[in-house]
């Protein structure tokens, strides 16, 4: 971000060219003072093909510009010198560059992907701007030292040497007022320019003014008076809130899908512009669209101002979705994720691999042996091969994979069922009866809850806008959905019981804070519970900071508080003067009385014990409840299926959040030292985690010996509360380089500068716990690293190796759900569901248990899957998708489609990941759409071939009426055979067969026709 700001400052220091200059800024950036352009040193490094190379000069220029010289390049602001190759990630660039040096000159400049290290293109020239607003030019360093010495600041001694070595003190950018004689604002630099203030900016400005006033930060920011003075005498346009803009254009689509979509629009006579994120993408997309349409596609420098652009064309335009403007359809390319695509999401709810155990609804537990292709009715058809007892095999058609559910990995110790005999059918019938009784009980609870009344929460709009404006980040789409759902439930007049599921660092706390503020602004009370005092302290600080000055008293209540302080808080809760209490299980004590409790927020609900959960149930009677969790479990989802709980899943990662790079390796002192020193050089902090308190002294001594220049602190649950709090404050303020701790940090610790975590003996942790720990780093947008260092003298078992390998494989953002499923699969369900439900889960596995429960809750006695027998190929060519596991996953996904509208998004996903669809996959998608349509229209069976189509309707009261309507429409072409209607419709080839089936369904009256 600093690199982009530096590039903007450099641009502002030059005279405007052409039509003028447009500056876009956030509310926060607009208030920030800038280095004066006339004093901005010329430290940018311009590199062109043929530029003379002097390693010492380049190193000094880069170090002066704030770059970190490292062994590898991961993020903006880093550089690496490797003999005849120099790699630089410019601060304002999307990708790093690799400079090949030949005979003392730059021979070639290539962009590359930092994750795969593969080149992505060539360029002739690049400007490497600083990644700091205080470049280490001699005159600036001298001014800094003089200013620091006048303040008697000890960092003045040796500052020049530290900067020359590429080491910058913590919070170095805060020394900006000492580096320059004056700090103008963007308003001063653009003195006569009009200002457009976007919708919502006013609230953000007001919130920022409050924060700056509290922090006394006027030396680096404009206060309210300075801002208003800067606006005086110039044209100011404020955009008012309006209706939600609607657009029929699709959201940003993938690189593979966009040429097809553009071709369709162009063929329909539309004018089309392709919007790409950068020049390289625009050129590549222009080439691909030209190849797809057979028409030239030029790349435009800018949107023409003197008339509509000639189309089709491509343009560098960063937009989140397509739109229509001046009669031109703009299609947006979805940008590729930073740091590479990462592992692809599974095509099925849970991957089903060869040798896994699976449950067939009709035959029971068997072992998956692979996917085979057989001939059925003269057409190729994929079948899943399952092995049962006594080596009997079952071939399951791919279309019937919605009847196959994963049981677990091959590690699960369970006997296979036999294909002959009724043992499985008897067990399944008993299980369905038990689940049916559970479902009825859950439904009764849901009905009782709907009859219960709760306070209607309707907070005042003004204070709520101020709370939202103080959120320092852009809300993600997932957060907006969750906040909207929670606010709607609070206003419903019924007790809310809502679960917010989100991966580590995805912003669950913000949803809770908005809900708590809404309740408190109506004069009622809120209790926020956390499983540990550390997490409670973190929440307390966030709530107090965000709600400061809004008239709400927010107090802590934990078991480690002084008796007098705890008594004062309890009195405040009893008389209503405390609006929000943030604490641990101490809030559940029988000595705590609330004057008007309306909301209970529970963070990490699964970490509370049975006794605490019973106390929670008592506390929650008749009030709103909000639970936060990163790892939802079947029991929790069970309540959601019944309607007992609302559920919001925040599945959108924060802007600029990157996956944590994870490495599993045997412990070596060199690895530990390298990790810690590298993080220190980046200006960040590290965590070193050991599983037991007894392990901490040795680990602390080791860290101090390996990295003697780093400040080290220790944290664990047995420290006195005051001492633990002080340690966490020191870490948050940046005075600690390395925190050596137990897993006490796994929940709630939010340290934006912490970007490296080293975990000793990871084999002693569960997958979910390791994922939580890994989520403590990389929360500020910087590339983060997790080192899982095993004991080299303790060999790992096969299952442990596989468990730790899962963390390396699932690095992607949002991987918590996948890891929790893997943990459940590899370690068993334990007592998550209570005794009875746990037994059921062991009997059929998690997937099928949830399916049976959902079916029972819906009141369905049987599965509603229609039987389709179509004379078309139903196979995925191995040449298109070589991985057998992915072919199985895609077949499972297709067989489970319930809605025709879901077919097109799946088509785009497949095309995005694997390339243009072959005819066989197009046919599979068409069959899936037909199956979904049959389900909606109440068709029990549909068969089609070269000579006709047969149809069997579900046995409903309107069946005879619907059949008679079809017979009238198809007089002379239809006959009855038992319970089927057979239509004489000839077809030549698979496409015509499917067209005939669709035509028949088009004329079928809907269910309920009288």
Q: Assign 3-class secondary structure to 284-328.
A: HHHHHHHHHHCCCCCEECCCCCCCCCCCCEEEECCCCECEEECCE
pLDDT band at 343 (very low <50, low <70, confident <90, very high): very low
Residue-wise pLDDT for 281-337, tens only, equals 888 888 889 988 888 999 988 877 667 777 789 988 887 778 887 788 888 887 654
What angle do helix axes 903-914 and 257-267 make, rounded to 10 degrees?
A: 120
Q: Between 71 and 806, whose confidence is greater?
A: 71
Cα–chain center distance at 590: 40
17-21, 154-158, 230-234, range with the lowest pLDDT = 17-21
pLDDT at 633: 54
Helix (H, G, I), strand (E, B) or coil at 968: helix
54-68, 603-617, 824-838, range with the lowest pLDDT = 824-838
What angle do helix axes 834-844 and 634-641 make, rounded to 10 degrees?
A: 100
pLDDT at 513: 96
pLDDT at 832: 30
Q: How far apart are the first and last CA of the chain?
A: 65
What DSSP element (H or E) covers 502?
strand 497-502
- Asked, as a colleague might, if the bond just before 729 is cis with ω within 30 of 0, I would say no
Q: What is the pTM of this model?
A: 0.67
Strands 685-689 and 738-741: parallel
Token readout for 991 is 């496409």
pLDDT at 426: 86
Q: Which residue has the tokens 């497949």?
A: 910
Judged against a pLDDT cut of 80, whether residue 228 lies above it is answered with yes
CA atoms within 13 A on the CB side of 791: 12
Sorted by sequence, the CB contacts under 8 Å of residue 614 that are 6+ apart come out as none
No. of H helices and E strands in the chain? Answer: 32, 38
φ and ψ at residue 856, rounded to 5 degrees: -65, -40
Judged against a pLDDT cut of 70, whether residue 540 lies above it is answered with yes
What is the DSSP-derived secondary structure letter of residue 416? P
Judged against a pLDDT cut of 70, whether residue 658 lies above it is answered with yes
Give mean pLDDT, residues 70-82: 84
- 7 CB burial (10 A radius; 0-12, 13-18, 19+): buried
Q: Between 92 and 463, whose confidence is greater?
A: 463
The beta-carbon contacts of 766-770 under 8 Å, at least 24 apart in sequence, are 766/823, 766/827, 767/803, 767/806, 767/807, 767/819, 767/820, 767/822, 767/823, 767/826, 767/827, 768/631, 768/816, 768/819, 768/820, 768/823, 769/743, 770/804, 770/807
Token readout for 805 is 């390998």
How far is Cα 888 from Cα 271, in angstroms, rounded to an integer? 41
How far is Cα 364 from Cα 392, in angstroms, rounded to an integer? 13
Token readout for 624 is 């709103």
pLDDT band at 944 (very low <50, low <70, confident <90, very high): very high
pLDDT at 247: 47
Judged against a pLDDT cut of 80, whether residue 15 lies above it is answered with no
Sorted by sequence, the CB contacts under 8 Å of residue 142 that are 6+ apart come out as none
Judged against a pLDDT cut of 80, whether residue 137 lies above it is answered with yes
Give mean pLDDT, residues 196-219: 79
φ and ψ at residue 126, rounded to 5 degrees: -150, 140
Judged against a pLDDT cut of 90, whether residue 606 lies above it is answered with no
pLDDT at 93: 85
How far is Cα 848 from Cα 846, in angstroms, rounded to an integer? 6
Determine contact, residues 94/278, Cβ cutoff 8 Å.
Answer: yes
Give mean pLDDT, residues 42-59: 90
pLDDT band at 758 (very low <50, low <70, confident <90, very high): very high
Q: How many of the other CB atoms lie within 10 Å of CB of 191?
A: 10
Determine contact, residues 690/760, Cβ cutoff 8 Å.
Answer: yes
Give mean pLDDT, residues 106-112: 91
pLDDT band at 241 (very low <50, low <70, confident <90, very high): low
pLDDT band at 215 (very low <50, low <70, confident <90, very high): low
How far is Cα 224 from Cα 149, in angstroms, rounded to an integer? 32
What angle do helix axes 508-521 and 477-490 make, rounded to 10 degrees?
A: 30
pLDDT at 640: 58
pLDDT at 860: 63
pLDDT at 68: 87
Token readout for 694 is 């007894």
Determine contact, residues 393/417, Cβ cutoff 8 Å.
Answer: no
Q: Which residue has the tokens 């600083």?
A: 130
What is the DSSP-derived secondary structure letter of residue 934? H
Q: Between 853 and 704, whose confidence is greater?
A: 704
φ and ψ at residue 823, rounded to 5 degrees: -60, -45
Length of the chain measured in residues: 1010
pLDDT band at 828 (very low <50, low <70, confident <90, very high): very low
Residue-wise pLDDT for 665-701, tens only, equals 899 999 999 899 888 877 889 999 999 999 999 999 9
How far is Cα 996 from Cα 948, in angstroms, rounded to an integer? 8
Strands 497-502 and 554-557: unpaired
Q: How many of the other CB atoms lie within 10 Å of CB of 9?
A: 19
How far is Cα 11 from Cα 18, in angstroms, rounded to an integer? 14
pLDDT at 862: 61
Determine contact, residues 656/528, Cβ cutoff 8 Å.
Answer: no
Determine contact, residues 190/8, Cβ cutoff 8 Å.
Answer: no
CA atoms within 13 A on the CB side of 249: 27
| Burial state string for 701-714 with b = 16 or more CB within 10 A and e = fewer than 16 | ebbeeebeebebbb
pLDDT band at 189 (very low <50, low <70, confident <90, very high): confident
What percent of the chain is predicted at pLDDT more than 90?
A: 28
18-22, 255-259, 534-538, 544-548, range with the lowest pLDDT = 18-22
Q: How many of the other CB atoms lie within 10 Å of CB of 932?
A: 18
Strands (E), 695-833: 712-715, 738-741, 754-760, 785-790
The beta-carbon contacts of 841-845 under 8 Å, at least 24 apart in sequence, are 841/634, 843/427, 843/431, 844/359, 844/405, 844/407, 844/428, 844/431, 845/357, 845/359, 845/405, 845/406, 845/407, 845/408
Determine contact, residues 739/699, Cβ cutoff 8 Å.
Answer: no
Sorted by sequence, the CB contacts under 8 Å of residue 541 that are 6+ apart come out as none
Helix (H, G, I), strand (E, B) or coil at 128: strand
**Max Cα separation, the chain?**
103
How far is Cα 246 from Cα 244, in angstroms, rounded to an integer? 6
What DSSP element (H or E) covers 975?
strand 974-977
Token readout for 756 is 């490296």
Give mean pLDDT, residues 69-73: 81
Judged against a pLDDT cut of 70, whether residue 843 lies above it is answered with no
pLDDT at 246: 41
How far is Cα 803 from Cα 191, in angstroms, rounded to an integer? 60
Mean pLDDT over the full length of the chain: 83
184-188, 673-677, 800-804, range with the lowest pLDDT = 800-804
pLDDT at 1010: 60
pLDDT at 502: 80
Determine contact, residues 331/320, Cβ cutoff 8 Å.
Answer: no
Q: Between 657 and 198, whose confidence is greater?
A: 198
Residue-wise pLDDT for 951-978, tens only, equals 999 988 889 899 999 988 888 899 998 8
How far is Cα 163 from Cα 180, in angstroms, rounded to an integer? 17
Judged against a pLDDT cut of 90, whether residue 557 lies above it is answered with yes
C-alpha dist (Å) from residue 247 to 51, 67, 752: 48, 43, 37
């Amino acid at each position: 971000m600093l690199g982009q700001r530096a590039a903007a400052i450099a641009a502002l220091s030059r005279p405007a060219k052409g039509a003028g200059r447009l500056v876009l800024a956030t509310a926060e950036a607009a208030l920030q003072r800038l280095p004066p352009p006339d004093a901005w040193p010329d430290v940018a490094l311009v590199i062109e093909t043929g530029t003379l190379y002097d390693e010492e000069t380049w190193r000094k220029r880069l170090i002066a510009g704030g770059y970190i010289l490292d062994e590898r390049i991961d993020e903006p602001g880093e550089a690496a010198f490797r003999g005849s190759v120099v790699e630089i990630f410019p601060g304002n660039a999307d990708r790093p560059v690799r400079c090949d040096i030949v005979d003392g000159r730059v021979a070639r400049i290539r962009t590359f992907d930092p994750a795969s290290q593969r080149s992505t293109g060539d360029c002739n020239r690049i400007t490497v701007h600083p990644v700091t607003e205080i470049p280490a030019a001699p005159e600036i360093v001298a001014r800094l030292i003089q200013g620091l010495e006048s303040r008697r600041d000890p960092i003045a001694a040796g500052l020049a040497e530290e900067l020359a070595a590429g080491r910058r003190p913590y919070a170095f950018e805060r020394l900006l007022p000492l580096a320059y004689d004056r700090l103008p604002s963007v308003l001063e630099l653009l003195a006569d320019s009009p200002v457009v203030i976007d919708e919502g900016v006013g609230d953000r400005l007001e919130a920022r003014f409050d924060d700056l006033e509290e922090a006394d930060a006027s030396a680096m920011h404009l206060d309210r008076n300075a801002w208003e003075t800067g606006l005086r005498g110039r044209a100011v346009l404020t955009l008012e809130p309006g209706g939600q803009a609607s657009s029929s254009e699709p959201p940003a689509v993938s690189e593979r899908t966009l040429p097809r979509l553009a071709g369709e629009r162009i063929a329909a006579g539309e004018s089309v512009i392709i919007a790409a994120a950068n020049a390289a993408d625009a050129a590549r997309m222009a080439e691909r669209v030209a190849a797809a349409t057979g028409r030239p596609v030029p790349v435009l420098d800018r949107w023409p101002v003197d008339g509509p652009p000639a189309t089709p064309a491509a343009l560098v335009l960063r937009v989140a979705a397509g739109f229509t403007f001046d009669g031109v359809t703009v299609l947006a390319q979805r940008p590729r994720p930073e740091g590479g695509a990462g592992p692809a999401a599974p095509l099925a709810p849970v991957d089903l691999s060869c040798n896994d155990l699976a449950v067939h609804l009709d035959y029971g537990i068997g072992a998956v042996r692979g996917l085979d292709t057989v001939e059925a009715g003269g057409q190729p058809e994929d079948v899943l091969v399952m092995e049962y007892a006594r080596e009997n095999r079952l071939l399951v058609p791919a279309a019937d994979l919605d009847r196959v559910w994963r049981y677990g990995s091959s590690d699960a110790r369970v006997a296979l069922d036999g294909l002959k005999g009724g043992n499985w059918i008897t067990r399944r019938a008993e299980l369905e009866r038990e689940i049916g009784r559970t479902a009825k009980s859950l439904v009764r609870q849901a009905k009782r809850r709907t009859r219960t009344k709760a306070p209607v929460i309707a907070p005042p709009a003004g204070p709520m806008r101020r709370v939202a404006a103080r959120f320092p980040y852009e809300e993600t789409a997932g957060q907006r959905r969750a906040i909207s759902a929670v606010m709607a439930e609070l206003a419903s007049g019924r007790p809310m019981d809502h679960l917010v599921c989100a991966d580590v660092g995805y912003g669950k706390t913000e949803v809770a804070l908005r809900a708590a503020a809404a309740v408190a602004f109506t004069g009622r009370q809120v209790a926020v519970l956390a499983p540990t005092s550390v997490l409670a302290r973190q929440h307390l600080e966030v709530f107090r900071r965000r709600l400061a000055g809004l008239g709400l008293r927010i107090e802590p209540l934990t078991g480690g508080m002084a008796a007098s302080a705890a008594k004062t808080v309890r009195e405040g809760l009893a008389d209503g003067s405390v609006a929000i209490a943030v604490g641990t299980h101490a809030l559940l004590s029988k000595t705590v009385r609330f004057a008007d409790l309306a909301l209970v927020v529970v963070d990490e609900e699964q970490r509370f014990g049975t006794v605490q959960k019973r106390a929670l149930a008592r506390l929650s009677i008749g009030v709103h409840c909000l639970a936060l969790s990163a790892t939802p479990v079947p029991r929790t989802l069970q309540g959601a299926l019944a309607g007992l709980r609302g559920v919001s899943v925040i599945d959108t990662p924060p802007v600029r959040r990157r996956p944590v790079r994870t490495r599993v390796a045997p412990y070596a002192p060199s690895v530990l030292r390298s990790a810690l020193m590298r993080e220190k050089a980046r200006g960040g902090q590290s965590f070193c985690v050991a599983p037991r308190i007894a392990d901490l002294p040795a680990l602390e001594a080791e860290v101090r010996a390996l990295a003697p220049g780093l400040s080290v602190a220790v944290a664990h649950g047995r420290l006195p509360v005051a001492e633990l709090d002080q340690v966490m404050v020191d870490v948050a303020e940046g005075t600690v380089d390395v925190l050596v701790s137990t897993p006490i940090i796994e929940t709630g610790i939010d340290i934006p500068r912490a970007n490296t975590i080293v975990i000793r003996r990871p084999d002693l942790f569960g997958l979910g716990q390791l994922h939580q720990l890994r989520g403590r780093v990389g929360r500020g947008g910087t590339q983060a690293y997790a080192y899982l260092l095993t004991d080299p003298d303790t060999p790992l078992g096969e299952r442990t190796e596989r468990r730790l390998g899962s963390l390396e494989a699932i690095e992607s953002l949002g991987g918590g759900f996948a890891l929790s499923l893997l943990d459940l699969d590899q370690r068993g369900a334990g007592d998550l569901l209570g005794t009875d439900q746990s037994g059921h889960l062991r009997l059929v596995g998690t997937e099928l248990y949830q399916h049976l429960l959902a079916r029972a809750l819906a009141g369905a006695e049987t599965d509603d899957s229609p039987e389709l027998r179509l004379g078309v190929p139903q196979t995925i060519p191995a040449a298109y998708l070589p991985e057998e596991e992915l072919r199985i996953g895609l077949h499972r996904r297709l067989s489970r489609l319930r809605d025709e509208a879901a077919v097109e998004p799946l088509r785009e996903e497949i095309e995005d990941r694997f390339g243009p669809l072959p005819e066989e996959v197009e046919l599979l998608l068409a069959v899936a759409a037909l199956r979904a349509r049959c389900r909606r229209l109440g068709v029990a069976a549909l068969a089609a071939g070269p000579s006709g189509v047969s149809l069997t309707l579900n046995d409903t009261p309107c069946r005879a009426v619907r059949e008679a309507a079809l017979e009238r429409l198809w007089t002379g072409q239809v006959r009855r055979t038992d319970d089927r209607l057979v239509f004489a419709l000839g077809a030549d080839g698979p496409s015509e067969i499917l067209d005939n089936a669709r035509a028949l369904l088009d004329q079928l009256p809907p269910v309920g026709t009288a």
